Amino acid sequence: MGIFFAMIRALFYKESYMKKELAIFIGLFLFLAIGMHFKEWISHPIDHVMALPTAGAYGIGPFHPLVFTLALYLVFALFRGIGSLFSKK
């Protein structure tokens, strides 16, 4: 278990790196939320947020915005990781 925490600490050692990744995740979340439900956010945003506990997509339930954002974030992270392997830095 200690090796796991050491890997996590090494991955997020710099606080600025963690802030950057969190900003990317939140930006992606907002982009997806507004993009997928633009009409609802414009016409009745409070009702849309209040209906989240009973919402669901593909059986995921109220956590579907986070699940979809995490899935797309991992795809972006994979491409960024592959790109960093081929960069000349």
Give the tens place of pLDDT for each residue, 1-54: 566 666 566 666 666 777 888 888 999 999 998 898 888 888 988 888 888 788
Domain that holds residue 53: 14-86
81 inside domain: yes
55 inside domain: yes
- Assess whether pLDDT exceeds 80 at residue 65: yes
Domain count along the chain: 1
CA distance 89 to 78: 18
Question: pLDDT value at position 73?
Answer: 92
4 inside domain: no
CA distance 72 to 29: 9
Is the pTM higher than 0.85? no
Task: Specify the higher pLDDT residue, 64 or 1.
Answer: 64
Question: pLDDT value at position 71?
Answer: 93
42 inside domain: yes
CA distance 38 to 40: 5
Angle between helices 64-86 and 15-36 (to 10 degrees): 130
